[in-house]
Amino acid sequence: MPELAALVSEHLAAATASPRGRSALKIIHDGPLRQTVIALAGGQKLEEHNTPPAATLQVLHGRVRLTSPGGDVVLSAGSLEPIPHERHGLTAVEDSVVLLTAVNREP
């Protein structure tokens, strides 16, 4: 498994070079557990979407804004935040990389 520091560098470079301003890689898929590294160039968004049954967001690099009807929160590198159990979005305040950990229902 690649080191997180290497994934941060690799996907941040890919996101800033991409016309869509993002790059992602699922690094763990074990039963209902998923972990994904997501890089967003500054100003880029993941539009509002539904939440899995349980999830956290850890900021590995940069600053992001987690948005939801219950209120927005700005997270900096090192922050770990549970994802609200409602529709939510994510905006990169600056070039950022996050680790999304989610537990999904098994089919």
Provide the Cα torsion 51, 55, 61, 65; round to 10°: 40
2 or 102, which is more confident: 102
Task: Read off the pLDDT of residues 37-77 as tens digits, 9 standing for 90 and up.
Answer: 999 999 999 988 888 889 999 999 999 999 998 899 999 99
Per domain, the residue ranges of the chain are 4-103
Coil, helix or strand at residue 7: helix
Q: What is the pLDDT of residue 1?
A: 66
Tell which CATH classification among 2.60.120.10, 2.40.50.140, 2.40.110.10, 3.40.630.30 matches the domain 4-103.
Answer: 2.60.120.10
Q: What is the pLDDT of residue 70?
A: 87
Coil, helix or strand at residue 8: helix
The answer on pLDDT for 2 being more than 80 is no
Q: Which helix (H) or strand (E) holds 84?
A: none
Report DSSP letters for 41-69, one per residue.
-TT-EEEEEPPPSEEEEEEEESEEEEE-T
